[in-house]
Amino acid sequence: MKILFDGLGGDNSPQEIVKGAILAKNELGIEIAIIGNKEEINKILLEENAEAEVIHADEKIENDEQPAFAIKNKKIHL
């Protein structure tokens, strides 16, 4: 099973998101992928001596945005 982690939002992201994803991978034996700024995430993975699939995302959908607007007007992939 592969679990995707949102590295664009949350407190202290992407640092804490990446660390949590690595912990889940190691403790549960799952495959992980982290979505967000590829350069930032790869830097953290290197610091943590860990590997994960990274899916680059230039933009994020903010909490107050209408989903239809975001899908129509942002460079996102579904």
Using one digit for the tens of pLDDT, what is the confidence trace for 35-70? 999 999 999 999 999 999 999 998 888 888 888 888
Count CB atoms within 10 A of the CB of residue 8: 20
Mean pLDDT of the chain: 91
pTM, entire model: 0.84
Using one digit for the tens of pLDDT, what is the confidence trace for 10-42? 889 899 999 999 999 999 999 999 999 999 999
Task: Map tokens 């860990």 to a residue.
Answer: 50
Q: Is 49 left (phi over 0), alpha (psi -120 to 50) or beta?
A: left
Domains in the chain: boundaries: 2-73
> Kind and range of the H or E element at 6?
strand 2-6
